[in-house]
Homo-oligomer: A and B are copies of this chain.
Amino acid sequence: MSNLATIANLIGDPSRAAMLQALLPGEALTAGELARVAGIGAAATSAQVKALVESGLVSVHAQGRHRYHRLAGEEVASALETLMALPQVSPRKSWPHGDAFRQARLCWHHVAGRIGVALHERLTGDGWIAAAPGGWAATGSGEARLEKLGVDLAAARRAPRFACDCMDWSERRPHLSGGLGREITSMMTRRLWLTRIEPLATDLLQRRRLACTPEGARALSAEFGIAA
C-alpha cells in the first residue's frame, strides 16, 4: 500500500481522527483522555493509539502509570489542518464547534483562527517578516518591533524552523507557525491579550479555544492594526 493510502487510512478512521484533532493544540493527552474523546473503550483505544504511534504520527512518553501522547511534530499538525481546510463534503454545514471557535484557538503552539490569519497578514504585509528559504525571516525593523513587544526572538530561532505557514482550516488562509509563531503566542498569553477557555465538559477540543481580552483587543489594534 502506498504511503499516501497508509497515512490517510490512519487518519480516516473516525476514532483516530477524533484523537488527532484533540491533539492538534499540541498538548499531551493520556490514553484515557483519548478514549473519552473518541468515545470508545480502553481496549479499542489502546489498539488505535498503537497504530498511530507505530506510524510515526504520534509520539508517546511514559510517565508513571500514565502514558502521554502528542503529535509527532508540527508538520503533522500542519498536514491535518490542511486536510480540514479542503472543500467541505456534501451539504455544507455550520462549523462543528460554533463561530466562537473561529475567532482564536491554539494550533500546535501558535494562534490560529481569525486572529491568527489576521496576524499573518499584517506581519507579512507590513514588513515585519520577509520571505526566506523554507519560510520567513524577520526584517531589521521587524526584529526591533518584535523585541519591543516582548517576543523572545532568540528562543524562536532555536526552533527547527523560525517561521513558516500553516494552513488554517476554518479561515482557509495561512497563519504563522514555527518558533516565531510560538513565541508571539507566548507573549500574547503572558501579557494576557489572549486567555485559554477551559473545557466545559468532556469535549477536549474546547481546550483549543482562546478568548481575546479587552486589553488584548486594544493592543492588537494599536500594535498590528487588527480589529479583533
Binding site for B on A (CB under 8 A): 1-14, 16-18, 20-21, 54-57, 72-73, 75-76, 78-80, 82-90, 96, 120-121, 124-125, 129-134, 136, 165, 169, 173-174
> Are B90's CB and A72's CB within 8 A?
no
On whether A78 and B82 interact (CB within 8 A), knowing A8-B11, A11-B8, A129-B131, the answer reads: yes
Give the chain B neighbours of A57 by CB distance below 8 A.
86-87
Give the chain B neighbours of A76 by CB distance below 8 A.
86-87
The oligomer's copy count stands at 2
> Are B129's CB and A96's CB within 8 A?
no
Give min CB distance, A223 to chain B, whole Å.
18
Binding site secondary structure of chain A: helix
Give the chain B neighbours of A1 by CB distance below 8 A.
14, 17
Give the chain B neighbours of A2 by CB distance below 8 A.
14, 17-18, 21, 96
Listed residue (A79, A80, A131) with the most chain B CB atoms within 10 angstroms of its CB: A131
On whether A89 and B5 interact (CB within 8 A), knowing A79-B82, A121-B133, A130-B130, the answer reads: no
> Are A88's CB and B3's CB within 8 A?
yes
